[in-house]
Amino acid sequence: MISGYVIGESLRTGAVFEPRGLRLRKVGRIAVDGVSAGQPAVWTLVEWESDGEDVGALADALADALEPELGWYADFVAGDERVVVFAGKVFRHRRGDERGRAEAVAYGRSVGTPEHQLDWEE
């Protein structure tokens, strides 16, 4: 099982994220403190899951759909693997792998993701 979230506002205009087998689990709206300049103060959280096996194709589809500005990212879990996806860039590491996590965090910083938003759970 693959499960994750994507922030609706992180998708670039005109993008479609529709990998085969994707199921919607929940949609909610939250107010967010400490957003960076250009990020909206209210986000739409879309929780999804898939029984699909092709983690790479799913990650690539998400990387193609994300807005490259403002350091947006999405992450998901596939078994014991954590996948962190930025526009055009995918990081995959075993959950709990501090080196793998550090690489994704460093990349997030380099593209402008606010520090406190680099908080995915392992």
Domain boundaries, the chain: 2-116
Compute the distance between CA of residue 39 and CA of residue 26 in angstroms, rounded to an integer. Answer: 22
The confidence band for 8, taking pLDDT boundaries of 50, 70 and 90, is: very high
How many CB atoms within 10 Å of residue 69?
A: 13
* Mean pLDDT computed over every residue of the chain: 93
Task: With a cut of 90, say whether residue 101 has pLDDT above it.
Answer: yes
Task: With a cut of 90, say whether residue 121 has pLDDT above it.
Answer: no
The confidence band for 21, taking pLDDT boundaries of 50, 70 and 90, is: confident
* pTM greater than 0.85 (yes/no): yes
Q: Which two tokens stand for residue 27?
A: 């949609």
